[in-house]
Structure 1
Amino acid sequence: RIPSRKILQDTCDAASAIDATAVIVHGGHADDNDLDAGFERWVKALASLKTDMPVYLENTAGGDHAMARHFDTIARLWDHIGDMGIGFCLDTCHAWAAGEALVDAVERIKAITGRIDLVHCNDSRDAAGSGADRHANFGTGQIDPQLLAAVVKAADAPVICETADEGRKDDIAFLREHID
């Protein structure tokens, strides 16, 4: 998986050049559900990385052998990489699509990682557990907007709304109104 490591290094170098805050990466997939091999690839990737640019692991929505879809797998991955300086990005749509309850998602992720560095706050077009990564503006999808605001408030981290341009200003205004 050297090409993946080179892409991560190149991405971190480019992010440093523009003074980005961090690079956000998905967890990837383990071949044939061989999670141990996937954990080892993560360790090698982070160990070979030469950068001061923070890297945040983001939970993912779907994939049968995804390394960061379900919180129990994230916990196992974090046991291998948590002391290697990696941060965490919690995506609400991804957690919903993975079938993870949002009501206590922040508490559970912080128990695993000790941190949430960024929240991607999005409604979901599809039902919980669907595995579908289809972001929606607040109130147009399946997640109660009040629950989204509660997640952001509990996380106490910067937030990005990855929703459609049309309606994003309303999403941001909603969060501002409900988390202060």
Structure 2
Amino acid sequence: MRIGAHVREDDDPIGAGEALGADVVQLFLTDPQKWNKVTEHPRAEQIRASPIDVVVHSSYVINVASLNNRIRIPSRNAVAQQAKAAADLGAIGLVVHGGHVRDGEDPAEGFANWRKLFERQADKGGFEVPILIENTAGGDAAMARHFDDIARLWDAVGDFGAGFCLDTCHAWAGGEELVGVVERIKAITGRIDLVHLNNSRDEFNSARDRHANLADGTIDAEVLAAVVVAAQAPVILETPADGVAEDLAYLREAVGDA
């Protein structure tokens, strides 16, 4: 089991990972709040040569499900560009949020837009790294908040080999219990490729995406550790930076050789 964290030092992700003793790091390859194109990472050679695994998180502005052409089309392009850049670094996957349609719009069209993303890329030979769709915390029109919606999403994209990233804070804030969550998700997707292990600053079903350190939030830390043991997938902590080292130490002790 490989355990690590999202590193804020995007200019030197491997150095940050080494300082933490991480087995895997997650990073952005461009400003996550903008539509900037990806350029070659200044430490690409070091990243490719390192024994530390790398996961790339796509930009937050991406919304593949959107019915707005001005959002959906740039989103498709950005996923393809960032997947290629991730592959160039030897990354194990590209995490992409499930996205949403607007209130009053038909969610079925959002699921169909996800399928079109994979269909269009399949015509070009497919994505160069696995696309790991992440569950999200809020929004009644979200594609991947509630597990019944994730089932609809998987009906649309599962046959393209889409991967799944389980975020514990998002599931909790989205109103999904964490006890037994791994079995429930695997019954839908058949897989969990990555765990974003985060506690939550807010209560169950709050729809608020605010992460907390493992010992400080509203989720029992032992429940979080149990998710890791059950998932048997690489783990990325996205907890507040000041406590990440302590979170890593707690998690390693809690899961042991599981």
Normalising by structure 1, report the TM-score: 0.96
Q: Of 165, 169, 173, which residue of structure 1 is paired with 2:245?
A: 169
What does 1:89-100 align with in structure 2 at a 5 Å threshold? 89-100=165-176
Give the match for residue 179 of structure 2. 103
Counterpart of 1:47 in structure 2 is: 119
Q: How does 1:44-83 map to 2 (within 5 A)?
A: 44-49=116-121, 50-83=126-159
Q: Does the aligned pair in 1 maintain the 2:165–2:195 contact within 8 Å?
A: yes
1:27 has 2:94 as partner: no
Matched with 1:115 is 191
User: Any conservation in 1 of the 2:211–2:239 contact (CA below 8 Å)?
Assistant: yes
1:38 to 89, 110, 115: 110
Q: What is the CA RMSD across the aligned residues, in angstroms?
A: 1.0
Amino acid at match of 1:20: A
Which whole-Å CA distance do the structure 2 matches of 1:19 and 1:156 have between them? 21
* Post-superposition offset of 1:4: 1.4
Identify the residue that residue 14 of structure 1 maps to in structure 2.
85
Correspondence for 2:218 among 123, 142, 149: 142
Distance (Å, rounded) in 2 between the aligned partners of 1:51 and 1:21: 12
The alpha carbon displacement at 1:92 in A equals 0.3
* Corresponding residue pairs, total: 180
C-alpha displacement of 1:28 = 0.9
d(CA) in 1 for partners of 2:230, 2:250: 16
Question: What displacement does 1:33 show?
Answer: 4.1
Alignment of 1:116-131 (within 5 A): 116-131=192-207
Q: Residue 64 of structure 1: CA displacement?
A: 2.2
Flag the structure with higher helix content: 1
Q: 1:9: Cα distance to partner?
A: 0.7
Check conservation: 2:84, 2:128, Cα contact below 8 A.
no
Larger C-alpha radius of gyration, 1 or 2? 2
Deviates more, 1:3-12 or 1:101-110: 3-12
1:152 and 2:228 matched: yes
Distance in 2 (CA, whole Å) between partners of 1:118 and 1:33 is 30
Q: What is the TM-score of this pair, normalised by structure 2?
A: 0.68
* Structure 2 unmatched runs, 5+: 1-71
Identity of aligned residues (%): 58
Partner letter of residue 44 of structure 1?
Answer: K
Q: One-letter code of the match for 2:150?
A: I
Cα deviations by residue, 1:106-157 (Å, 9 ceiling, x for unpaired): 1100000010000000110000100000000012110000000001100010
The one-letter amino acid paired with 1:40 is: A
Partner Cα separation in structure 2 for residue 58 and residue 10 of structure 1: 18
5+ residue gaps, structure 1, are: none
Superposition misfits of 4+ residues, deviation over 4 angstroms: none
Structure 1 residues 14 and 125, CA, compared in 2 at 3 Å: closer, same or farther?
Answer: same
